[in-house]
Copies of this chain bind each other. A is one copy, B any other.
Amino acid sequence: MQVTVSRKAHFNAAHRLFNKNWSDAKNNEIFGLCSNPNYHGHNYELIVSVTGNVNHETGMVIDLKILKEIIYQKIELHLDHKNLNLDIPYFKTIIPTAEHIVKYIYEILKSEISEISEKLKIQITLYETPRNFVTYPATI
């Protein structure tokens, strides 16, 4: 049986939900306050879970110091104190909903962790607020 190791991280960012193909009225109807043209923001909390076998010599699935450093270099430095719509090229065409952000983070970290081992599986949970959060891949 395998063990899942999880690490929490966080970043603060501004964003706006807006579909360029829609009128302002439709954006307002679907996204409501989240569509404020001047942006609003969140303290995003992130849980990165890595599943794999426990190494017999180290007693670890993955060295948490390395995982922490990957999250810092690839996610925190990249997204913290940013405007997701304006500062992150990926979100110039993709609406930065929590669902899209969690998939974006998954792809970046999946690629990094695959370099350590192809066998490691990952899952990301992203809290947009303490009451709203998303998980990818899905839990059910």
Q: A136 is contacted by which of B3, B94, B95, B139 (Cβ under 8 Å)?
A: B3
- Interface residues in A, total, Cβ within 8 A: 69
Within 8 Å of chain B (Cβ to Cβ): is A75? no
Q: Which residue of B lies closest to A40 (CB)?
A: B81
Report yes or no: B97 in contact with A4, Cβ–Cβ below 8 A. no
In the bound complex, CA of A55 to CA of B69 (Å) = 33
A87 to chain B, nearest CB (A): 6
List residues 3-20 of chain A with CB under 8 A from any CB of chain B.
3-10, 12-15, 17, 19
Which B residues lie within 8 Å of A51 (CB)? 138-140
The 10 A-B residue pairs with the shortest CB-CB distance, nearest first, are A41-B41, A38-B83, A59-B97, A33-B81, A59-B95, A14-B14, A2-B138, A14-B41, A40-B81, A8-B131
What are 25 A-B contacts with C-beta separation under 8 Å? A1-B138, A3-B102, A3-B135, A5-B132, A5-B133, A5-B134, A6-B133, A6-B134, A6-B135, A8-B132, A12-B41, A13-B40, A14-B38, A14-B83, A19-B58, A36-B83, A38-B82, A38-B86, A38-B87, A41-B41, A43-B130, A54-B103, A59-B96, A60-B99, A61-B99
